[in-house]
Amino acid sequence: MNISRALLMLVLIPAFVLAGCTYFNNIPPVSTLENPTRSRTLGDYEVAGKVVAVQVCASCHGINGQSQSPMIPNLAAQQKEYLINQLQDYRDRSRSNEYAVQYMWGMAGPLTDKQIQDLADYFSKQLPAKASNGIPGDPQLARGKEIFEKGIPEQGVIQCNSCHGPSGAGMATFPRLAGQKAYYLIQQLHVWKYPNQKRFMEVGGNTWAPRTVTFARPRGVLMQKEALSDSDAEAVAIYLSTLQ
């Protein structure tokens, strides 16, 4: 290569690079799954919530919000308002537990309000996870169904469907329980009964009620009053896991 050609290449290469930068800077923010490996343009746009869902959340909760682990909840078809509340609580660290400190605090910390809205919108629109089949004739299913629909009046336990909906699909800030992992639900109920054992959840802070509503009583007081025995809690969880 002669000197003149080398000089020409030195001029052309930066020109091509600059042209490429200009091209990518004019591309709008990635907001679909067309290219999930490219979460940012060179203009450093905010990462779209849908991209965060695919690149980050999916590693535990599944790309469609259906997790493969019994201890990680399904997010598919979850109530949007509920998801927004939980992500906000992880972001400001008012919801804490062993796994939140290790994972969710760091993941939720940088999220903007728009990203949280986008994430909640994305997962709430996914098809719900396929419900567990259960065991036909299992007395636990019958007991769980009875508690879900009628509660245990003699123990002051109200029916679950009064807040979580007649089919367990949730209502606004009350979460969807239908088709949720039985093991995960058992752990949740366990913490309501034993709030000092915070491995999975922590009762308190902003976790258990919508931020837009001011309660005259402490957050989560309804669930804290649910005097379910361990066997009844397991029965309810197993029944809820079979609801589609």
Q: Which of 60-69, 88-97, 109-118 has the lowest mean pLDDT?
A: 88-97
Q: Which of 11-20, 72-81, 82-91, 188-197 has the lowest mean pLDDT?
A: 11-20
How high is the pLDDT of residue 22?
Answer: 40
The region, left, alpha or beta by phi > 0 then psi within -120 to 50, assigned to residue 171 is beta
- Whether 53 has a pLDDT exceeding 90, the answer reads yes
Instruction: Kindly state whether residue 18 falls inside one of the protein's structural domains.
Output: no
Whether residue 146 sits in one domain with residue 229: yes
How high is the pLDDT of residue 18?
Answer: 46
- Whether 192 has a pLDDT exceeding 80, the answer reads no
Instruction: Kindly state whether residue 11 falls inside one of the protein's structural domains.
Output: no
Whether residue 196 sits in one domain with residue 236: yes
Whether residue 119 sits in one domain with residue 149: no
Instruction: Kindly state whether residue 4 falls inside one of the protein's structural domains.
Output: no
Pick the residue with more confidence: 63 or 206? 63
Domain of residue 203, residue span: 139-241
- Whether 105 has a pLDDT exceeding 60, the answer reads yes
Instruction: Note the pLDDT tens digit of each residue in 115-142.
Output: 999 999 999 999 999 898 877 778 999 9
H helix intervals, the chain: 3-25, 49-52, 58-61, 80-91, 98-99, 105-108, 113-124, 139-150, 161-164, 182-193, 221-224, 230-241
80-106: average pLDDT = 85
Instruction: Kindly state whether residue 12 falls inside one of the protein's structural domains.
Output: no
User: Residues of the chain with pLDDT > 90: what percent?
Assistant: 46
- Whether 210 has a pLDDT exceeding 60, the answer reads no
CA dist., res. 170 & res. 163, Å (int): 7
Instruction: Kindly state whether residue 5 falls inside one of the protein's structural domains.
Output: no
Last residue of a domain, one of 94, 124, 154: 124
Whether residue 194 sits in one domain with residue 111: no
Whether residue 110 sits in one domain with residue 44: yes
Pick the residue with more confidence: 195 or 50? 50
Cα–Cα distances (Å) from 180 to 45, 54, 131, in that order, read 35, 21, 8
Place of tokens 């003149």: 4
Whether residue 221 sits in one domain with residue 148: yes
Q: CATH number, domain at 94?
A: 1.10.760.10
Instruction: Kindly state whether residue 46 falls inside one of the protein's structural domains.
Output: yes
60-86: average pLDDT = 94
State the pLDDT confidence band at 102, using cuts at 50, 70 and 90.
confident
Instruction: Note the pLDDT tens digit of each residue in 150-190.
Output: 999 998 899 999 999 999 999 998 999 999 999 999 988 88
Whether residue 103 sits in one domain with residue 33: yes
- Whether 204 has a pLDDT exceeding 90, the answer reads no
State the pLDDT confidence band at 241, using cuts at 50, 70 and 90.
very high
Instruction: Kindly state whether residue 16 falls inside one of the protein's structural domains.
Output: no
User: Could you tell me which of 32, 51, 38, 25 has the C-alpha nearest to residue 115?
Assistant: 51
Please name every residue paired with 157 in a beta bridge, in sequence order, or none if there are none.
Answer: 152
Instruction: Kindly state whether residue 22 falls inside one of the protein's structural domains.
Output: no
Total structural domains within the chain: 2
Whether residue 105 sits in one domain with residue 146: no
Place of tokens 């939980």: 86
How high is the pLDDT of residue 84?
Answer: 95
- Whether 17 has a pLDDT exceeding 70, the answer reads no
How high is the pLDDT of residue 189?
Answer: 86
How high is the pLDDT of residue 198?
Answer: 54
How high is the pLDDT of residue 94?
Answer: 78
